A and B are shown apart, each in its own frame.
Chain A
Amino acid sequence: MQSASRIRFKWLVPTLYVIFLMLPIYWLLNMSFKTTNEILGGFSLYPQSFTFENYRTIFTDPTWYNGYINSLIYVCLNTVISVAVALPAAYAFSRYRFLGDKHLFFWLLTNRMAPAAVFALPFFQLYSAIGLFDTHLAVALAHCLFNIPLAVWILEGFMSGVPKELDETAFIDGYGFWRFFVKIFLPTIAAGIGVAAFFCFMFSWVELLLAKTLTSVAAKPIAATMTRTASTSGYELGLLAAAGALTIVPGALVIFFVRNYIAKGFALGRV
C-alpha cells in the first residue's frame, strides 16, 4: 500500500516537465507582444503595453512573409519526394533479400550521421554547378540526404508488420505489382506513411544550415531572414520574437494532426 501515495503524485513528473518546456516558449510569446523599447527598457513578466505591431510588420512586409512561404514550399516538396521514393525501397527491404541489402541499409543510415557542417560547402558547389542554386528544389533535394534514410527506416518497420499473406493473396487474385501496391498495400500502411511524412516535415522544417547555404534571395527560408535581419537593421528583438513564435505554428499544427501516431513512428523502425 506504500505505492498508493506514489501513484497519486505520479502526474507531477510530466506536469513539471511540460511547465519546463513551456517557460522559454512563453517568454518568446511575451517578447513578441512587446515593443523593442519595452523589451530593452526593463524586465516584466507580461507585456505592459500589449502590441500586435510586430506581427503586423511580418504579415505586411513581403521580405518577411515570403520567408515562410519559401520554407513551406521546400519542406512540402522534400516531404513528397522523400516519402514517394522511400515507399518502394522500404517495400523491397521488408519483403525481399537481394545482393547487398544489409550493407545498403546501413549505408543509407550512415547518411543520417553525416554532419551538415561537413557538407555545406560541397553542396553549395554541387548545386551551383547544376544551376539549381537559390531554388526551392535545391533545398528539397539536399534535405533528402537525411530524410530519405529516415523515411525508409520508419516505413520498413511499418511494412514488416503487415503479413506477407496479403501480398500473396493479391497476386493470386491476379493483381499486377503496381496495382496491388497502390490500391491495396498503401492504404494498409496509411498510418506509417503519415508518421514518415511527419518526421520528414519536421527535420526539413528545423534544418537551417543547408537551407541557408543553398539559397540567397528567391528561395530564402524564414530562419535565414531572421538571422540577416538581426545583423542589418540593429537588434529588433520584438520583431525577431514574433517571427520565431510564428515558426512554431506549422509544427504545432502538424503535431496536432498526427498526435496519435507520433509515438509509434520510431518504435516500429529498426536499426
Chain B
Amino acid sequence: MSGKIQNQRAWLLVLPVVALVAFNAVIPLMTVVNYSVQETFGDNLFFFEGLKWFEQILHSERFHDALQRQLLFTGIILAIEVPLGVGIALAMPRKGVWVSVCLVLMAMPLLIPWNVVGAMWNIFALPDIGLLGKTLNSMGIDYNFTRQPVAAWVTLIAMDVWHWTSLVVLLAYAGLSAIPDAYYQAARIDGASSWAVFRYIQLPKLKRVLTIAVLLRFMDSFNIYTEPFVLTGGGPGNATTLLSIDLVKIALGQFDLGPAAAMSLIYFLIILLLSWVFYAAMTRGEDS
C-alpha cells in the first residue's frame, strides 16, 4: 500500500466503472427503497406507510423459516465444499498433461447455465427414469425428491456440491502452486510429517485464497435461486423454499411490492453483514 502515489485525477479512470455500476445498482436500489415504505393498490397509486413492511417482515414466521432454511443450506454446503475442495486440490497432480485434463473437466460445471444445472439434476435424480433415483431405488432405498423433504434437501445439496466444489478446488490449487519448492525441501530435511506440512506450510499459504473461496461461496449460496427453483420449485411443500425463492414468490407471484421490497433490503443487509463478519474473522491478526 505504501508505494502508491497520491493522485486525485485517478478518479477519471474510475469514472466509467462508477457510472455504469451506479446506474445498475443505485437506481434499482432506490426503487426498492421507495417501494419498501409505500402501499399500492394498483393504478400507480402509492401511499406512504413508513416502516410498516419492515416490522411485518421481521415478525413474520414465513420469513424466519425461509431465513433458517437459507442459513442451514449455506452452512451445510460450506462445511462440505471447502474441506472437500481443499482435499481434492491437495491430491491433484502438480505437473504434466493430467493437470490440464483435470482443470478443464473440473471447470465444466461452472460454465453450465444455472437452469440447465437444475434441469440436468432433475432428470438425473428422477426416481423412475433418472440414473441416481433409479439406482438408489433399486438398491432398496426409498427415494423420491419430489415427495420427501429429506430427499429433496439431499438432492439440493448434492447438486450444489456438484456445481461449485470445483471453484474451491481451482482456488486452492492456485494457492498451492504458488508455494515455492524450497518450503517443502526444508520440511523434508526437518523430517516433518505430511500433517505438519499441511498444518504449518500449506494451510497458512492457502489462507488468502480460502478467504476468497468462503466469501464467494457464502454470497452465491445465499443468493441461489435458479437451480433450486428448477430442481424442486421450493417443494415439497415449502421444504426447500430458500430466501430468494420466497422473495420472488412474494414479489412476482403475489405482486406484494411493499413487503417484497422491505424483504429485499433486509435480505441484502444480512448478506452484507455476514460477509463483513466472515471477512473480518478470516483476516483477523493479519497486518494490512
Residues of A near any B CB (own CB < 8 A):
3, 6, 10-14, 17-18, 20-28, 31, 39-40, 42-43, 45, 81, 85-86, 88-89, 91-93, 95-99, 101, 104, 108, 110-123, 125-126, 141-142, 144-145, 148-149, 152, 164, 202, 205-209, 222-223, 226-227, 237, 240-241, 244, 247-248, 250-252, 254-256, 259-260, 262-267, 269, 271
Q: Which residues of B contact A24 (CB under 8 A)?
A: 120-121, 124, 131, 162
Q: For A269, give its contact among B4, B18, B120, B212 (CB under 8 Å).
A: B212
Verify A141–B92 contact, CB threshold 8 A. no
- Say if the beta carbon of B271 comes within 8 Å of chain A: yes
Known contacts A89-B14, A121-B251, A255-B111; decide if A113 and B170 are in contact (CB<8 Å): no
What's the Cα separation between A20 and B209 when bound, in Å? 25
Closest to A121 in B: B251
Closest to A143 in B: B24
What's the Cα separation between A121 and B25 when bound, in Å? 13
Known contacts A25-B108, A27-B131; decide if A142 and B17 are in contact (CB<8 Å): no
What's the Cα separation between A58 and B137 when bound, in Å? 34
Q: Which residues of B contact A98 (CB under 8 A)?
A: 6-11, 14
Verify B107–A121 contact, CB threshold 8 A. no
Verify A148–B20 contact, CB threshold 8 A. yes
Q: Which residues of A contact B223 (CB under 8 A)?
A: 113-117
- Say if the beta carbon of B68 comes within 8 Å of chain A: no
Verify A255–B129 contact, CB threshold 8 A. no
What's the Cα separation between A264 and B244 when bound, in Å? 31
A contacts with B: majority SS:
helix
Residues of B near any A CB (own CB < 8 A):
3-11, 13-14, 16-18, 20-21, 23-25, 27-29, 31-32, 87-88, 91-93, 98, 100, 102-116, 119-121, 123-124, 128-132, 134, 162, 165-166, 169-171, 173-175, 177-178, 194, 208-209, 211-213, 215-216, 219, 222-223, 225-226, 230, 243-244, 247-248, 251-252, 257, 260, 264, 267-268, 271-272, 275, 279, 283
What's the Cα separation between A110 and B3 when bound, in Å? 26
Known contacts A40-B129, A43-B129; decide if A119 and B28 are in contact (CB<8 Å): yes
Q: Which residues of A contact B115 (CB under 8 A)?
A: 208, 223, 226-227
Verify B4–A97 contact, CB threshold 8 A. yes
Tell which of A40, A88, A222, A271 has the most Cβ of chain B within 10 Å: A271
Verify A241–B170 contact, CB threshold 8 A. no
Known contacts A43-B134, A95-B5; decide if A126 and B27 are in contact (CB<8 Å): yes
A sample of 15 cross-chain residue pairs with beta-carbon separation below 8 angstroms, ordered by A number, consists of A11-B93, A17-B165, A25-B108, A97-B4, A98-B8, A116-B225, A206-B114, A226-B115, A226-B116, A244-B120, A259-B103, A262-B103, A263-B177, A266-B170, A266-B171
A13 → chain B closest CB, angstroms: 4
Known contacts A24-B120, A98-B7, A262-B107; decide if A13 and B87 are in contact (CB<8 Å): yes
Q: Which residues of B contact A142 (CB under 8 A)?
A: 24
A229 → chain B closest CB, angstroms: 11
Verify B226–A208 contact, CB threshold 8 A. yes
Verify A21–B24 contact, CB threshold 8 A. no
Q: For B24, give its contact among A22, A89, A145, A208 (CB under 8 Å).
A: A145
What's the Cα separation between A260 and B104 when bound, in Å? 9
